[in-house]
Structure 1
Amino acid sequence: MAQKQQMLQFVHTDQQMPDKREPALRRQDFDEIYARFADGQAVTQASRCSQCGVPFCQVHCPVSNNIPDWLKLTAEGRLEEAYEVSQATNNFPEICGRICPQDRLCEGNCTIEQSTHGTVTIGAVEKYITDTAWERGWVKPATPVRERAQSVGIIGAGPAGLAAADQLRRKGYQVHVYDRYDRVGGLLIYGIPSFKLEKDVVERRAKLLADAGVIFHLGFEVGRHATLGQLRVQHDAILIATGVYKARELEGPGSGVDGIVPALDYLTASNRTGLGDTVVDFENGRLNAKGKNVVVIGGGDTAMDCVRTAIRQGAKSVKCLYRRNRANMPGSQREVAHAEEEGVEFVWQAAPDAFLGDRQVTGVRAHRMHMGVADASGRQTPQAIEGSAFTLEADLVIKALGFDPEPLPTLFGEPNLKVSRWGTVMADPRTLMTNLEGVFAAGDIVRGASLVVWGIRDGRDAAAGIHTYITARAAAGQLAAE
């Protein structure tokens, strides 16, 4: 009875987030905005969990984290056990604790949140558990029980590829990860700003994987340095986990003038500069918002990253233009609140018509939108309001409209690789194998642009599929030899 009383404290204890830096301070740098829970805070907040019979937080977590279990262990001060439970289902819990949109996933479906008591601060506790584990030396490189002769080649060092690499290395496979960039992490390192995910958090994970025996081939472009067919000869299985990087285009008069840039180019330039690289387009001002009137077009998490980055670069003004209303936007509502606190102006229910300026953009002509009837997904369809045109002053326009796949069959020199009409790689939903024998695919390149946590889930599933495939082939070969 005493143990039960240790939980269910939501009736006596209010929800509390970790300390958040003041907007005036966080506008000046790229440091994370939340402090870490103090030990006592984490214990107290974890004890608010109601230990549901059906844990909806876990049900709505893409990696099915055992959230009530590690909350209970945290409340009891059993942090090393809490970490073991947390990392059992998630290869990168300290990353998910920072960047997952918990308001749309676990915390948004917390039972006590639905009963108006305020959700358990799951993400903050998850971050606290794993950061504590790193500090106390509990996080160690994987040590396989036995080494296997078979090798797996993974194309892409983003969340899906790294999660698969971790899982496969733990089983003793010789894992080689190929990535065209010069650092490990994909969008974790170059796409997500440091105020959400400081880069040393990603770098220490990359080092841990290397220490475990994962071999990274950086600056390696499949199709240029080797075709997919050549990699297939070198490895027993291949995983395509490239993500989706091709920016969706913005049509309309004037869309070709200077000063209209893709979101990923802009974010990559900012992140590279923060990492100490020299970026010519940042130095010459093309990808730098300092002193400019900035308009970001889009309403997802990438758009939020762009507007908040522009604020920190010293933009004169930052506006976010989105064709739907706040309730229908795909991005995290917490991110919107952070952006508003930092001085971003949201122009809801508005869409661009044209871009003004002869050579350099000077403004965005837009029109107001009316939210019409819901479509098949349940979201209201925006419709233009006649005669509602207006103009926003702009020296820099950032396109944050989402991402599409690159033409992999052409890039990889493998025309037989089957893709969907959207260009995503087609894979068996159960095994994640493509139409090519021994070639698997996972993450955004299969499901389209999505969350980091879904990439982790897909990478884990792909690793399981690859293990089943290789062991079945090995068993068949052994039987044939007998």
Structure 2
Amino acid sequence: MSGQKMLKFTTVGRDMPEKRPPNLRKQDFDEIYAEYAREKAAEQASRCSQCGVPYCQTHCPLHNNIPDWLRLTAEGRLEEAYEISQATNTFPEICGRICPQDRLCEGNCVIEQSGHGTVTIGSVEKYVTDTAFEQGWVKPIRPHMERSESVGIIGAGPGGLAAADMLRRQGVQVTVYDRYDRGGGLLTYGIPGFKLEKDVVMKRMAQLEDGGVQFVMNCNVGEDLSFDAIRGKHDAVLIATGVYKSRDLPGANAGGIVKAIDYLTVSNRQSFGDDVPEFDSGELDAAGKRVVVIGGGDTAMDCVRTAIRQGAESVKCLYRRDRTNMPGSQREVQNAEEEGVEFVWLSAPDGFSSDPVAGVKVQKMRLGAPDVTGRQAPELIEGADYIEDADLVIKALGFEPEDLPTLWGVEELEVTRWGTIRADFGTGATSLEGVYAAGDIVRGASLVVWAIRDGRDAATAILDYLGQAVEVAAE
């Protein structure tokens, strides 16, 4: 019977949820895609070919059982679809919104390779989980048995929260320490509302709190509380701080030149209704300004689209390679262009004029011969320099790890030559007994879905460690 519900990709075309028109969506920070109706979600899920080797699942960092929950959605069995989805993914409603599906599951869909257009996996995932919340299928965390062991987690981003969820479900006592006043990390303060509305994150935070996870907010480890104190209080510790140190440009210290993380955090705080002096003063408000964003990743896309919504006079994105070679999502580039962002390809900054800034000195580039990896390196075109007028310059050049051993006074915590924590690939175990690490602080700036995967893997390893520790203590 289920076979008749599927394999409709030859007769049913790919159809994304309706996208709000640019002239409307750039006036607010609401999400830009509408929700599927039940019939449309079932129709789109029915396009899945149910292939024997599901490349969508293979290329998902969480190895989500995508074909099965697509089939259940097509059959109208949405609660079962949710159960299958959440079995491998702690936050499917978040991944359905912000995962770069075009580079992961959807980009490797078999029917996409055959020219029929990929199954809209992310949109169906979002629909299924949103429906689960509405219908009360997302159950509170209620462990069958409480355990005496406790785990301290440093960082309330996706990696730390995924680990907290898994550990708490096993009855472990969990305390999460975070430097911000709200949990969620970059989900809350880095990613704009038009990609991830904040009530979605806050619902998961409320579920974790209701389930017994303790949160210690506004806590800067190394200043307000020492790492040793946290380690002494808990049976195991997970470091999931992410990477927040912004890469910089030489000479980029004039007024009006700001870091992407500062700009996005202020914008998100303002959306929460917080009192934000940096926004009220105009320092981090793009309204009426000529904005230039430097960088080509997803953070740069967040910045240009935020500036549009703040009412910038113009928004330009400088990137030193071409469109094909940029790291950001092509879907995000298209959305930005629809909203009025101008991309200036093959362009690199070479200084700034005036203080406060009045322009960016731009060097034009061309792509040279491919290197050993096949990627073409940018080369300078002599004599093609010019100045791009700007009142606000946002540096979106990526993030690096902070020097945690020094900041926390734990020199014995081993790091790599890149400054990331040296941790076992499978378990997240560090050089310190009972201390684990997960997410960007181990792998470098990466995707939310990888942080969730790492957090879940580390939680499994910590449970094994706690079990062994109990056995040793009993001997």
Q: TM class, shorter-chain normalised?
A: over 0.9
**Are 1:292 and 1:317, in contact at CA under 8 Å, matched by a contact in 2?**
yes
Q: Which amino acid is 1:304 matched to?
A: M
Deviation digits for residues 196-250 of structure 1, max 9, x if unmatched? Answer: 0000000000000011110001011111122111111100000000000010011
Q: Distance in 2 between matches of 1:389 and 1:454?
A: 39
**Are 1:227 and 1:414, in contact at CA under 8 Å, matched by a contact in 2?**
no
Q: Distance in 1 between matches of 2:210 and 2:367?
A: 53
Q: Distance in 1 between matches of 2:173 and 2:298?
A: 35
Deviation digits for residues 415-464 of structure 1, max 9, x if unmatched? Answer: 21111111111111122111000000000000000000000000001101
Match for residue 71 of structure 1?
70
* Further displaced range: 397-406 or 382-391: 382-391
Indicate the SS of the match to 1:143.
coil
**Are 2:155 and 2:239, in contact at CA under 8 Å, matched by a contact in 1?**
yes
**Are 1:158 and 1:188, in contact at CA under 8 Å, matched by a contact in 2?**
yes
The answer to whether 1:307 aligns with 2:304 is yes
Deviation digits for residues 249-272 of structure 1, max 9, x if unmatched? Answer: 1124xx221110000000000000
Aligned length: 475
How far has the Cα of 1:387 moved from its partner? 1.2
Match for residue 370 of structure 2?
374
**Are 2:31 and 2:195, in contact at CA under 8 Å, matched by a contact in 1?**
yes
Q: Which amino acid is 1:84 matched to?
A: E
Match for residue 350 of structure 1?
347
How far has the Cα of 1:114 moved from its partner? 0.8
> 273, 295, 299: which one pairs with 1:298?
295
The answer to whether 1:426 aligns with 2:415 is no
Indicate the SS of the match to 2:9.
helix
Match for residue 457 of structure 1?
453
Q: Distance in 2 between matches of 1:116 and 1:372?
A: 32
> 318, 326, 334: which one pairs with 2:331?
334
The answer to whether 1:440 aligns with 2:474 is no
> 271, 276, 279: which one pairs with 2:276?
279
Match for residue 111 of structure 1?
110
Match for residue 87 of structure 2?
88
Q: Distance in 2 between matches of 1:155 and 1:140?
A: 25
Q: Which amino acid is 1:371 matched to?
A: L
The answer to whether 1:156 aligns with 2:155 is yes
Deviation digits for residues 319-341 of structure 1, max 9, x if unmatched? Answer: 00000111111110000000000
Indicate the SS of the match to 1:424.
coil
Match for residue 320 of structure 1?
317
Q: Distance in 2 between matches of 1:146 and 1:28?
A: 49
Match for residue 257 of structure 2?
260
Deviation digits for residues 328-366 of structure 1, max 9, x if unmatched? Answer: 111100000000000000000110111011x21001111
Q: 5+ residue gaps in structure 1?
A: none
Q: Distance in 2 between matches of 1:376 and 1:315?
A: 41
Q: Distance in 2 between matches of 1:225 and 1:466?
A: 26
Q: Distance in 2 between matches of 1:232 and 1:364?
A: 47
Identity of aligned residues (%): 67
Q: Distance in 2 between matches of 1:297 and 1:335?
A: 16
Q: 5+ residue gaps in structure 2?
A: none
Q: Which amino acid is 1:82 matched to?
A: A
**Map of 1:130-279 to 2, 5 A cutoff?**
130-252=129-251, 255-279=252-276
Q: Distance in 2 between matches of 1:58 and 1:26?
A: 32
Indicate the SS of the match to 2:183.
coil
How far has the Cα of 1:373 moved from its partner? 2.5
How far has the Cα of 1:5 moved from its partner? 2.1
Q: Distance in 2 between matches of 1:299 and 1:350?
A: 11
Q: Distance in 1 between matches of 2:427 and 2:204?
A: 27
Match for residue 475 of structure 1?
471
Match for residue 8 of structure 1?
7
Q: Which amino acid is 2:279 matched to?
A: F
Q: Which amino acid is 2:452 matched to?
A: I
**Are 2:95 and 2:449, in contact at CA under 8 Å, matched by a contact in 1?**
yes
Q: Which amino acid is 2:461 matched to?
A: G
**Are 2:36 and 2:124, in contact at CA under 8 Å, matched by a contact in 1?**
yes
Deviation digits for residues 380-435 of structure 1, max 9, x if unmatched? Answer: 21111111112211000000000001111122121211111111111111221110
RMSD over equivalenced CA pairs, Å: 0.8
